Amino acid sequence: MIEVAAFTVGPVQENSYLVRQQGAESAVIFDPGDEAERLLGAIDQLGVRLDAILLTHTHFDHVGAVAPLARATGAPVWCPALEREVMLDVMRYVPWPGFGPFENHDPEHLVSGGESISLAGLDFDVIFTPGHSPGHVTWSLPAEQAIFSGDVLFQGSIGRTDLPFGDHQTLLRSIAGLLDALPDETVVHPGHMGITTLGTERATNPFLQDLVA
């Protein structure tokens, strides 16, 4: 069984997740978007070693605290391969004024989807889910029936596609792939808003009606 601590951070109210096996001494963190000191405090309070920083995509609200967390903990960063360039020049890709400044970080590992990766005693499958961003991935824990889906699927909504390189039809295909591949009981830990399940979204999400018709 996993323990998931959720932290809503930054002005865009992004969800970052600190995940470990129950009672384990090591953990991973997903999408540390802001408030690095708060996240580091939570890691210290739990008394865990951070084994990896896992990114679903590289929009600024999901990566703003990556560099300070990596520096403070020594944890390597796993980044979508198609979006590595963003991490090398984060501020260049911030679409609006008033955010940041955010530090760059050259990720130690790249993923493209299709990988099976074991970190902190957790066995992940990496699923390519583009549409919101070109290299977006979803991190799945099949044994736990849980996914960390970034900005693909939300409680009652879906990721926006009006940002650079977004594509609505591609996003819908990615969501359809998740619905086809994973059971309805799968718990969805999204990048914004509340936790849900694939079954709930299949049944009630108005943006998915055409997919499930």
Q: What is the pLDDT of residue 206?
A: 96
Question: Domain of 70?
Answer: 2-212
pLDDT at 133: 98
Instruction: Supply the CATH number for residue 74's domain.
Output: 3.60.15.10
Integer Cα distance of 101 and 140 in angstroms: 31
Given a cut of 70, the residues of the chain with pLDDT beneath it are 212-213
Over the stretch 94-121, which tens digit does the pLDDT of each residue have?
Answer: 989 999 999 999 999 999 999 999 999 9
pLDDT at 204: 97
Distance CA 13, CA 33 (A): 9
Q: What is the pLDDT of residues 169-183, one digit of tens each?
A: 999 999 999 999 999
pLDDT on residue 172: 97
Cβ–Cβ < 8 Å for 10, 16: no
Q: CB–CB of 38/80 below 8 Å?
A: no
Number of domains in the chain: 1
For 105, residues 6+ apart whose C-beta sits below 8 A from its C-beta are: 63, 66, 67, 70, 77, 87
Per-residue confidence (pLDDT) for residue 211, from 0 to 100: 81
> In this predicted structure, what is the pLDDT of residue 213?
64
Q: Supply the pLDDT for residue 164.
A: 84
For position 210, what pLDDT does the model report? 83
Name the token pair of 113. Answer: 């989807």
Nearest to 197 by CA among 188, 209, 208, 206: 188
Q: What pLDDT score does 163 carry?
A: 87
